[in-house]
Amino acid sequence: MVESSTKQIQVSRPSIGVDELEEVRKVFETGWLGLGSTVFEFETRIRDFLGAKHVIAVNSGTTALHIALDAHGIGEGDEVIVPSLTFCASIQVVTALKAIPVFCEIEPDTLNIDIEDARKRITHKTKAIMPVHYCGNSCDMDELLKIGKENNIFIIEDAAHAFGSSYKGRKIGSFGDATCFSFDPIKNITCGEGGAVVLSNDTIAESMRRKRILGIDKDAWHRYEGERSWFYEVTTQGYRYHMSNINAAIGLAQLRKFDILSEKRKHITNGYNERLNGIKGIKLIRWDLKETVPFMYIIHVQDGKRDELMNFLNGKGIVTGVHYIANHIQPYFSKYSNPLPVTESVWEDILTLPLYPDMTDKDLAFVVDSIKTFFER
């Protein structure tokens, strides 16, 4: 068995260093730390990378989802179909708009939305479906967009896990109604904190740009370019959701090395797939590493041994997680709850193993050997 390194193996961690510090230093030297030219450059780089039309950078993936729903007219009494197995932020943005989350099932082998179950839950009140590209694996976007078109509802993609992933050769975010990314500390790229909405509709994109800066018609950077720098108009309901130049600077450095970061994630995932396959007591989810940049590595632990395995690994310095607790059983969302037997079964057996770009082959081997030891006892 491979010996453990002296460090603790985290479930996830950012890959940051001198490149990010250098970009932040450049922003400090300008004296303009808020929304400005660095953010606009970051948006342009994201747009070019994805092959998208509009990119609106914001301060988190949660605010990206909220502003996307808001700008698409989702409001009080409207229904949004969303998988229960996702981070609670995906639900909070719906209830924040006084809309109604309608929980649906997931597919156990991908953890993505069960499209047929979602289809059955469409009513005359349904205004959007919010699929989650789980672990970076794309949902079946052809079918989802077809359902959206047939029922005149929006498909607002939660792509917090999926920056860089593709669907049938097209980058997630390069097509569809709206795609929301997260750039928090552990995502496929990080801005420290940040997010973005990507879309093609000119009118809705302009609405989002105003909404992210308190509904003001011009942000401070553009106001100070003109003679009447003090003058602005509030034209819509808005929020303080804009990204700062500091966060965008970190993102620019991350984008330059994204190919390296993504290949490392794929390498670790492929290593897990090869070494864990066939171990009695666990089941792997499906991966397409030609299309997917993996964000998390999740396994099903069978026979009710998930928590026991988690404690065993923790005792060896291996940190694991559960992503996520089903939202329909959370106290705050109980009034929206409906029976979801697949989700209820899945969330109780999934376990997230360590995955991050700076994870070494030795770390990977130690994790795998520790799992084998657990099941061979």
**18-256 with 258-376: one CATH topology?**
no
Radius of gyration of the chain (CA): 21
**Measuring CA to CA, how many Å separate 250 from each of 27, 227, 261, 285?**
10, 32, 14, 32
Q: What is the pLDDT of residue 104?
A: 98
- Torsions phi, psi for 357 (to 5 deg): -60, -30
Region 18-256: CATH code: 3.40.640.10
Is the bond preceding 356 in cis, omega lying within 30 degrees of 0?
Answer: no
Give 10-residue mean pLDDT values along the chain (377 residues).
71 98 98 95 98 98 98 98 98 98 98 98 98 98 98 98 98 97 98 98 96 86 59 92 98 98 98 97 97 98 98 98 98 97 98 98 98 96
Distance CA 377, CA 371 (A): 10
Q: At what angle do helices 361-376 and 306-315 cross, to 10 degrees?
A: 130
Distance CA 279, CA 103 (A): 33
Q: Does domain 258-376 have CATH number 3.30.365.10?
A: no
> Where in the sequence numbering do the catalytic residues fall?
187
Name the residue ranges covered by the structural domains of the chain: 18-256, 258-376
